[in-house]
Amino acid sequence: MTNKVWDLFDYVLTDLDGVVYEGKNAIEPAPRVLETLAGLGIPVGYVTNNSSRKASTIADQLKGFGVSAEPDDIIGSGQTGVELLSTLIPAGSRVMVVGGEGLRDWVVRGGFELVADSNAKPAAVIQGFSPDVSWRDLAEAAFAIQAGAKWVATNSDWTLPQEKGLAPGNGTLVSAVHTAVGQLPLVAGKPETPIFESAVRRFEAKYGRTKPLFIGDRIDTDITGANKAGLASVLVLTGVSTRKEVLGMRPEGRPRYIIGSMEELLGDYAYPIQTKHGYKSGSALVELKKNKVVVAAGDPKSIDALRAACAVIYTSPTPIYGLDVDPALYE
């Protein structure tokens, strides 16, 4: 069975880091693919856990890659975090921000008063990522939370893809505060549902569309979050998550679709088809022989082999730790 993935949906929501760009560089051919979808009348929205930059700055970066994006197309965890704050504290309350300019901008636009430290007795602390966050910022956040301030984190990503590799993400900074205060924040961004719900509300109101497809590169945030929010999910292997992670993923983090690059969104998708002893996807055949997952036909490094292997493993009554999986599928 083959057909184009996007044929089944009427708008696309996609992550940015690890899908569209990595730091300052575009991940080809993602910009061209997204422009192609937009040209076919499929609206595209961008759902990001990055709260440090303004939506206009992100839109300008996307335009620099040749993507037609407007600030209203960006759904960020900063905005969602402020929406969450508004359910916890009254309008006009004092809020301490740990994070970048984009997050401070959303707090002001949300009708709250910005304060610099715990001495101002903030009603809440909202914490997002910025490369400029210091030990003093984290300490002041901890002092405010211990004094009774509500605590919201824009996201809990442990890592952040950069040109040189993976860098510590907001989750590591949140963990530092958690260690000091002994409690956990409410999280607005992926994998929690508020950011997905905000994106769906915005795009359904703007375009009248009801069938979203979400694309991400991280199982722990993007795919798990989309599944939790009831959205069909696509995992693209251009960012953080690896083939090995996909093979061993628990049900809550399993994507509906797996692609090697964004280019594959434009072609036919080879759905795994059950055979006598396993599954076939495209030219690949993967079988379960006793407790061994073996590639019976095709290139084990191919995306077809990965899809077929996932189908075999996901439907097996034996848990992944009880299976002997051909290393060629993930090495």
Choose, from 15, 105, 220, 222, the residue flagged as catalytic: 15
Residue 147 DSSP class:
T
**Could you give the CA distance from residue 181 to residue 127 in angstroms, rounded to a whole number?**
14
Query: Is 15 considered catalytic here?
Result: yes
**Could you give the CA distance from residue 162 to residue 168 in angstroms, rounded to a whole number?**
10
Asked if residue 16 lies in contact with residue 75, where contact means CB atoms within 8 angstroms, the answer is no
**Could you give the CA distance from residue 82 to residue 234 in angstroms, rounded to a whole number?**
28
Tokens matching residue 159? 């890592």
Query: Is 10 considered catalytic here?
Result: no
Asked if residue 302 lies in contact with residue 284, where contact means CB atoms within 8 angstroms, the answer is yes
3-state secondary structure of 281: strand
**Could you give the CA distance from residue 219 to residue 140 in angstroms, rounded to a whole number?**
32
Residue 262 DSSP class:
G
Q: Is the peptide bond before 168 cis (omega within 30 degrees of 0)?
A: no
**Residue 7: how many CB atoms within 10 A of its CB?**
9
**What Å distances lie between residue 300 and 264, 279, 286, 304, 325, CA to CA?**
18, 13, 9, 8, 11
Tokens matching residue 221? 């945030």
Choose, from 17, 220, 222, 304, the residue flagged as catalytic: 17
Asked if residue 217 lies in contact with residue 48, where contact means CB atoms within 8 angstroms, the answer is no
Residue 328 backbone dihedrals phi, psi, to 5 degrees: -65, -20
Q: What is the DSSP string of 33-96?
A: HHHHHHHTT--EEEEE---SS-HHHHHHHHHHTT----GGGEEEHHHHHHHHHTTTS-TT-EEE
Helix (H) or strand (E) holding 98: strand 94-98
**Residue 158: how many CB atoms within 10 A of its CB?**
16
User: Hey, which residues are catalytic here?
Assistant: 15, 17
